[in-house]
Structure formats: structure tokens, C-alpha cells
Chains A and B, each alone.
Chain A
């Protein structure tokens, strides 16, 4: 617990990641990790103004349909319509308000709208797969989209990714930046997916899985899923 005065700025150092809460940098079963991560130990950096500040607001305006991936094209996309909603909190439970969330995902057939995705599943002209929104004053957000399909990749023989939505969140500091993947409950592919399995702690893994939520479900319209996101937060007790 320390707080360091710098001229007229005040530095609240952030909590460090608790052991086991994050994936390791190199996880052999995910085969592209060894060539793309350092072999030397990282240098421990006490937090300065550079780490505890960050881009607080979205850098571009949000359009009305940005958080509804089913209304961005001429017609509705194919697939199971879903609502994904939740809160962004810091690790002390404080809401993270007005922070930018960006998502991207495959379509219902498991195909991304991306030139490098060659999976022979159909593209959907009515689904681009990108969304963005800002959290409200209480940290709440909401997207409408379709449930993405599972898809094959080349990591190992018969490798398939469980259905997931990529989430990108900023928070208040450059070090609170989080990019993760939201999974769906009960996916039989969890046991075979090295990206999911890279998080070794079962409790930590559960934090990546949305919960089916009947209250978020809209009658005669769309299933609801709840997915809360926790970002690193500043140490609470100041020191001067």
C-alpha cells in the first residue's frame, strides 16, 4: 500500500495479478506461444504515472447500432439471437464507468468476416461480427448479437475452438487494459481447447464463462447471457 506524490499528481499503484489468475505466457499445448513470448524474465516495474494513466474514453464516437450486431446490415443475420449483458468492475468491486468495450466474433456457422479465415463454412452478408459500446455510470453494458459457431483451427489434429466472443476493455489505466474471450456455459470443447486450458485454475476459468440469465432473456425475442468483467484496480489505502 503506497501512494507517491509527484508534483501535483498522485500515483495510486495498482493491484498485481493474483497468482494463477492469468494464463502463463508460454503454454506449450498452444503451439504459437513459445516463438512469440520472451524467454527472459520480465523486469518488475513499480507503477509510475505512465502505467496508472490510460485512454479513459472511447477515441471514436459510438453509433446507435454499434452495440447491436443484428442491426448493422440490410437484414437480420442467421443464427440464434442473444443478449450479452453485464458489468465491468474493478477488483475492489467499484463499477468502471464510461469505458470502451469492443467485441468481435465468428458468425453462426463459425466463420469470421476476415480474408484469412478459410474455413469452408458460409459467410453471412448480414453479419460483420464487430460491436462496441461504453459502460454506463454503474459499469453496465449490453450487446445484442447472434451466438457464434465453433470452428476448426490448425493447432493440432482435429482442433476446434469452443464458441466465444472476443472482448476488449480499456478501464482507467494502461495496465488495466484487458483482451479476453467470453465462452458459453457447458461447451463440450473446453476440455480440448488449449486457449481455454491455458488458465490452469478452475475458478479462474469459470470467470471467462457467461451465465445463462432468464432475467436478461427477452420473451419471444432472444436468450440472455450475463458476463461480468473484473479489471485490475488501484490500491485503496493512500500513503503520503
Chain B
């Protein structure tokens, strides 16, 4: 390393001007992208459980076969061109935002391991000086039991990384991000 990375600073309360007013991406997968359709309902909450109305969530995910649309993923250059894998949205008054996507496939992990279906998440907001990274897994997926990243997380905190099926709407999943407090979500040092 000959250079030191530029310091991060908060995106502040007006991030919408530059990032989400005209360049939100809430439909990560168009209707014709192959895969199991998923509606993801996220919320961002502070230490008191109060919703953040000024946060932004960004998502990066693989396609249904577990391939990323990226030059370093050499396995499947033919990945469906309509699927990019990036999403982002600002949270509303309830701290909520929604994404329409497909469930990602398994992604290779270290050695011969395989990572369970997951989405990579970054959170930006006023009061967050350096983005927070977490992951969304799907509750009840048998592959979670052998996921090499979940294995790094203390067993009693793994639930914080699980999206739960929405009892009110089929194919919808709920994921609450607790930035701090008793139900604090697991965040990763990447």
C-alpha cells in the first residue's frame, strides 16, 4: 500500500438529493429475471427502536445461480444481462424500504465451502460516519447450518441476520436492522 484510503464521512440527512431522489433502485430484478421472486421489506431502527427516516440501504447480491455480475466472478460471464444485482433505497417515516428481487443462489465460500443464499447490505445515514455492513439470510434455509460466515457469528446472535417470512404476504420477507440495543444486528468488519 502506497496510499492511505480517504476517510469516510457521514452521508448526512440530505443524501436523497444526490443518491435516491432520482437514482433509487428498488427493483433489483426485473420481472423476467429467472429465480424465486422475493419482496424484501427492511426497516432501520435506532437504540430506542425508533425508525430512522433518513437512512439509505444499499444491496449487492448474486443471481439465482449464485453468480455475481462482476469481472472477478469468472464462473459465469453469461449471467443474465438484465440482472445487475444492485439495489438502493432511502427509508421512509417508518424507517422502512422495500426491494423487489430474486432469491440469490449459493455463492462459493473459502476452500470448498458454500455460502447460503444471502444479500450483502450497507447502511448509510446521518450519525453513521462509516457505513455499516451486514447480511440478509433467509430463516429456515437448511444451508444456513453450514454457512462459513454464519459460523463466525455467536449462535445466539445469528437470528439478527435472518429475514423472516411475512405472515401477511406470500413471497415477502421482513428484515429489521437494529443499529444498537438489546436486539442489535450483527455487523461485519469487512
Which A residues contact B (CB, under 8 angstroms)?
Answer: 4, 6-12, 15, 17-18, 21-25, 27, 30, 32-40, 42-56, 59-60, 89-93, 102-104, 112-114, 116-117, 128-132, 166, 168, 172, 174-175, 177-181, 195-196, 198-199, 203-205, 207-208, 229-233
Contact B16 A114 (CB under 8 A): yes
Which B residues contact A (CB, under 8 angstroms)?
Answer: 1-19, 21-23, 25, 46-48, 52, 54, 58, 60, 62, 68, 70-75, 84-86, 107-111, 115, 118, 120, 122, 124-133, 135, 148-149, 152-153, 179-181, 184-190
Contact A175 B190 (CB under 8 A): yes
Q: In the complex the two chains form, what is the Cα distance from A92 to B3 in whole Å?
A: 6
Instruction: Find the B residue at minimum CB distance from A50.
Output: B120
Contact A48 B110 (CB under 8 A): yes
Contact B180 A35 (CB under 8 A): yes
Contact B1 A52 (CB under 8 A): no
Which residue, A6, A11, A32, A230, has most C-beta atoms of chain B within 10 A?
A6
Q: Among A23, A46, A91, which residue has its beta carbon within 8 angstroms of that of B8?
A: A23
Contact B127 A15 (CB under 8 A): no
- Answer whether A49 and B187 are a contact pair too, CB < 8 Å, given A36-B180, A166-B11, A230-B4: no
Q: Among B25, B128, B188, which residue has its beta carbon within 8 angstroms of that of A59?
A: B25
Q: In the complex the two chains form, what is the Cα distance from A30 to B13 in whole Å?
A: 14
Instruction: Find the A residue at minimum CB distance from B12.
Output: A166
Q: Among B46, B68, B189, which residue has its beta carbon within 8 angstroms of that of A36?
A: B46
Contact B73 A36 (CB under 8 A): no
Q: In the complex the two chains form, what is the Cα distance from A204 to B71 in whole Å?
A: 31
Which residue, B108, B129, B187, has most C-beta atoms of chain A within 10 A?
B129
A sample of 18 inter-chain contacts (CB < 8 A) reads A23-B129, A36-B127, A38-B185, A43-B186, A48-B108, A50-B120, A54-B60, A55-B86, A91-B4, A92-B2, A104-B19, A116-B54, A129-B17, A131-B18, A132-B18, A168-B19, A179-B11, A179-B124
Contact A48 B115 (CB under 8 A): yes
A52 CB, nearest partner CB in chain B, Å: 6
Contact A9 B74 (CB under 8 A): yes
Contact A91 B125 (CB under 8 A): no
Contact B84 A50 (CB under 8 A): no
Contact B128 A130 (CB under 8 A): no
Q: In the complex the two chains form, what is the Cα distance from A9 to B107 in whole Å?
A: 11
Instruction: Find the B residue at minimum CB distance from A165.
Output: B18
Which residue, A45, A179, A199, A208, has most C-beta atoms of chain B within 10 A?
A179
Q: Which residues of B contact A207 (CB under 8 A)?
A: 4, 6-7
